Amino acid sequence: MNNDVESQVALEREGPHEPPQPELNARARRVLKHLDAVLPDVDALYRDLHQHPELSAQEAHTAAEVARRLEAEGYEVTRGIGGHGVVGLLCNGDGPTVMLRGDMDALPIEEKTGLSYASHVTTPDGEPVMHACGHDVHTVCLTGTAALLARSRDAWRGTVMVVAQPAEETLQGARAMLEDGLYARFGTPDVVLGQHTAPLPVGAFMHREGATMMGSANVRIRLFGRGAHGATPHLAVDPVVMGASLVMRLQTIVSRELSPQEAAVVTVGHFQAGTRANVIPYEALLELTVRTEDDAVQARVLAAIERIAKADAEASAAPRPPQVEVLSSSPVNYNDPALLRRIRDAHAGWFGSGALVPGMLVPQSEDFPRFAQGPRQAVPTAFWFMGVTPLKAWNEAPGTTPLEKVSHLPGPHTSLYAPDREGSLRKGCESLTVAALACLHAGTASRDS
């Protein structure tokens, strides 16, 4: 499998420089010898969750299935943290507390994969629901890893803290769990680990030190004008013209106010005003998304949006200043460099360095970095990407570089995103297990390796 991946991806050739991982691999073998016994249930849960996806903050069935499995493996389970969040603790002697996080929610997207276990779920309002971000993969790899660690307690020491998080897509779930006392009630972990599916070939993994995903903020701007007949614009303060000008002017934040070294995106995704051709409305509504590689840059971009909106309104003689509201935000997903290197070395040792692809900054956002904010000090976090694209589809996609191929393959948040089931679940359990073991202490001397 690794060789196939190797032949198709421009690879990070770190091989000879990497520390060999014989001790860690030996421990991983002791834990992963249970994988074949665990996988049938992982697969059954995956098909169930994929077929029955639940939107953000509605993950009741998913959470119940996770909690039931953790209890069956001997975890101390608490339900209903920050909504449908589930926490499972397995204390296994002295050692660090390693938190493993998986997210559970799906998206309002219609599935068109044609898979036998495709979702046909719609909400009572008729809205289609699909696991189009692979959170079902994350959830079942989490329960699979939890089972593997529970069945091999002599191979490691420490505490495993399994966290199944709701409402990631709305960027609310991590914060809700923390505000509901995740760290206060269950202890602040020493490290937090998470993984996400990516449209790379199944079996490939991507790690990046430092910023790995951009921070985001969604902003709503309400512009106030004065309505009038469309034939008498001189009697109006036209919010449509004000908004149109603002859309253009906002593009100058990235092009004129940031340095070329400061990666950022400002997109106006929603602009609504008026009802008829011959009526000048009273208001216009804009919604924006902002992405940045640095939290300080995000603060500057948000300040610039507010400054420009207010000044534009004033220049148009608006009757009152606009309302500028940050609807949701997430910080930059920042990998602790030392922890990330440890995980990357562990994955290179287990999967072979040929399975690693060069790390890229991903413009999408996550609320995972919220878990880095411990009550007293920052908690080191590491987040990596696992390829889930079937190798056949990857090989047949046009292009030679990974970027060219990815642009021809269905990615997350699309109707056609269809992870390779068998490969993704097996590799996803392995990657999370090996990463957890790289952070936990070694157990008793092996009897069987």
Q: How far is the CB of 99 from Zn ion (least distance, A)?
A: 18
Q: Which is nearer to Zn ion, 133 or 435 (CB)?
A: 133
Q: How far is the CB of 165 from Zn ion (least distance, A)?
A: 11
Q: How far is the CB of 371 from Zn ion (least distance, A)?
A: 15
Q: What is 215-267 written as a DSSP string?
A: EEEEEEEEEE-B-EETT-GGGSB-HHHHHHHHHHHHHHIIIIIS-TTS-EEEE
Q: Which is nearer to Zn ion, 175 or 342 (CB)?
A: 175
Residue ranges in 391-430 that form contacts with Zn ion under rule CB under 5 A: none
Told to check if 133 binds Zn ion by CB under 5 A, we report: yes
* Number of residues engaging Zn ion in binding (CB under 5 A): 1
Which H or E element spans position 5?
helix 2-8
Q: How far is the CB of 232 from Zn ion (least distance, A)?
A: 47
Pairing label, strands 210-213, 85-92: unpaired
Q: How far is the CB of 234 from Zn ion (least distance, A)?
A: 47
Residue ranges in 239-298 that form contacts with Zn ion under rule CB under 5 A: none
Q: Which is nearer to Zn ion, 27 or 131 (CB)?
A: 131
Q: How far is the CB of 310 from Zn ion (least distance, A)?
A: 33
Q: Which is nearer to Zn ion, 77 or 171 (CB)?
A: 171
Q: Which is nearer to Zn ion, 133 or 397 (CB)?
A: 133
Which H or E element spans position 323?
strand 323-330
Residue ranges of the alpha helices (H) in 277-382?
295-315, 337-351
- Rg, the chain, Cα only: 24
Residue ranges in 48-107 that form contacts with Zn ion under rule CB under 5 A: none
Q: How far is the CB of 365 from Zn ion (least distance, A)?
A: 9
Range in contact with Zn ion (rule: CB under 5 A) among 12-20, 47-55, 129-137, 395-403: 129-137
Q: How far is the CB of 362 from Zn ion (least distance, A)?
A: 11
CA-to-CA separations, 412 to 29, 169, 178, in angstroms, rounded: 32, 12, 26
Q: Which is nearer to Zn ion, 104 or 221 (CB)?
A: 104
Which H or E element spans position 64?
helix 60-72
Q: Is the dihedral of CA 146, 147, 151, 152 positive or negative?
A: negative
Range in contact with Zn ion (rule: CB under 5 A) among 57-65, 128-136, 315-323, 351-359: 128-136
Q: Are 32 and 53 in contact (CB under 8 A)?
A: no
Q: How far is the CB of 36 from Zn ion (least distance, A)?
A: 28
Q: Are 257 and 290 in contact (CB under 8 A)?
A: no
Name residue 264's beta-bridge partners. 292
Q: Which is nearer to Zn ion, 133 or 221 (CB)?
A: 133
Range in contact with Zn ion (rule: CB under 5 A) among 28-36, 89-97, 127-135, 213-221: 127-135
Question: What distance in Å separates the CA atoms of residue 70 and residue 59, rounded to the nearest whole number?
Answer: 16
Q: How far is the CB of 102 from Zn ion (least distance, A)?
A: 10
Question: What distance in Å separates the CA atoms of residue 198 and residue 372, rounded to the nearest whole number?
Answer: 22
Question: What distance in Å separates the CA atoms of residue 11 and residue 6, rounded to the nearest whole number?
Answer: 7
Helix 22-32 / helix 135-150 crossing angle, nearest 10 deg: 90
Under the phi-then-psi rule, with left for phi > 0, alpha for psi from -120 to 50, and beta for the rest, what region is 159?
Answer: beta
Residue ranges in 106-125 that form contacts with Zn ion under rule CB under 5 A: none
Q: Which residue is nearest to Zn ion (CB)?
A: 133
Q: Which is nearer to Zn ion, 334 or 417 (CB)?
A: 417
Q: Are 437 and 24 in contact (CB under 8 A)?
A: yes
Q: How far is the CB of 121 from Zn ion (least distance, A)?
A: 17
CA-to-CA separations, 183 to 54, 87, 175, 375, 376, in angstroms, rounded: 26, 11, 11, 8, 10
Range in contact with Zn ion (rule: CB under 5 A) among 32-40, 133-141, 175-183, 218-226: 133-141
Q: Which is nearer to Zn ion, 70 or 133 (CB)?
A: 133
Q: Which is nearer to Zn ion, 133 or 313 (CB)?
A: 133
Q: Which is nearer to Zn ion, 133 or 140 (CB)?
A: 133
Q: Which residues bind Zn ion (CB under 5 A)?
A: 133
